[in-house]
Amino acid sequence: SHKAFIFDLDGVIVDTAKYHFLAWQKIANRLGIEFTHEHNEQLKGVSRIRSLDLILSLGGKEITQEEKDQYLLEKNEDYLEYIINMKEDEILEGVVPVLQYLKDNGQKIALGSASKNARPILEKVSILHFFDAIVDGNDVTNAKPDPEVFLRAAQLVGALASDAIVFEDSVAGVQAANIAGMISIGIGDAKTLHEAQYNFNDFTEIHTDFLQTLVKK
């Protein structure tokens, strides 16, 4: 059977992790909760709802459901303002050559993202055509580190979990891939992502000989 190459979106394909951070920091500030880059690592890959709950627990704060809904709405409105003008130049360096190589070699490519904004972002940066399947925050009920998003992505392209390779920049996402029994590739700080089977700082470090070994594994 064939492989599935599954990509996370935010912080892996596009440089949107910084926008999520800025939007959450604004919310945390308004709640009077300190929110650092280090705290943010725990939010990467995590659904919008869970992210707010994590911020609230950081500050030991409890608010009503109505207030939560309002903050979630405002966070997303703020985030949408950041991404509205996104263009191809916000695709992270080295990503397109890897996607192109996999496509040229007949490999299945899927998206496995927690974001409900995934499709419009892929459209904005003009790389929707690379993907054989897209699973995003609108499709799953269990957030990473639950493996649901990656299991569905593999299933949609007809691959076994053990034949899937996941590219992730988040701790929660690496854990989700590992729980699914997939190969996990951490993109970013190797210390933060020490649970990944392979680590790279970015896609410019991923060469075709490495991709070839994954294809043949």
Contacting residues toward ligand BG6, per CB under 6 A: 9-10, 20, 43-48, 51, 76, 113-117, 137, 170
Determine how β-strand 164-168 pairs with β-strand 133-135: unpaired
Instruction: Give the count of alpha carbons within 13 A of 32, CB side only.
Output: 4
Whether 59 has a binding-site annotation, put simply, is no
At 118, give phi and psi (nearest 5°): -65, -50
Measured from the CB atom, the residue of 103 and 116 that comes closer to ligand BG6 is: 116
Instruction: Give the count of alpha carbons within 13 A of 110, CB side only.
Output: 27
| Given 10, 69, 132, 136, the catalytic residue | 10
Contact between 188 and Mg ion by CB under 5 A: the answer reads no
Whether 75 has a binding-site annotation, put simply, is yes
Measured from the CB atom, the residue of 105 and 120 that comes closer to Mg ion is: 120
Residue 178 site contact among ligand BG6, Mg ion, none (CB < 5 to 8 Å, cut-off depends on kind): none
Q: Cβ-count burial of 194 within 10 angstroms (0-12 exposed, 13-18 middle, 19+ buried)?
A: exposed
Q: Minimal distance in Å, beta carbon 144 to Mg ion? A: 9
State yes or no: is 146 an active-site residue: no
Whether 30 has a binding-site annotation, put simply, is no
Contact between 11 and Mg ion by CB under 5 A: the answer reads yes
State yes or no: is 10 an active-site residue: yes
| Given 8, 132, 163, 189, the catalytic residue | 8
Whether 184 has a binding-site annotation, put simply, is no
The number of angstroms, rounded, from the C-alpha of 24 to the middle of its chain's C-alpha atoms is 16
Q: Site for Mg ion (CB under 5 A): which residue of 170, 178, 184, 199?
A: 170
Q: Which two tokens mark 60?
A: 């030991």
Measured from the CB atom, the residue of 44 and 124 that comes closer to ligand BG6 is: 44
Q: Which residues contact 89 (CB under 8 A, 6 or more apart)?
A: none
The end-to-end CA distance of the chain, in Å, is 11
Whether 29 has a binding-site annotation, put simply, is no
Q: Site for Mg ion (CB under 5 A): which residue of 8, 41, 136, 163?
A: 8
Contact between 136 and Mg ion by CB under 5 A: the answer reads no
Please check whether residue 22 is in contact with residue 175, taking contact to mean a CB–CB distance below 8 angstroms. Answer: no
How many residues in the shown chain lie near Mg ion by CB under 5 A?
6
Instruction: Give the whole-angstrom CA distance, residue 35 versus residue 40.
Output: 7
Catalytic residues: 8, 10
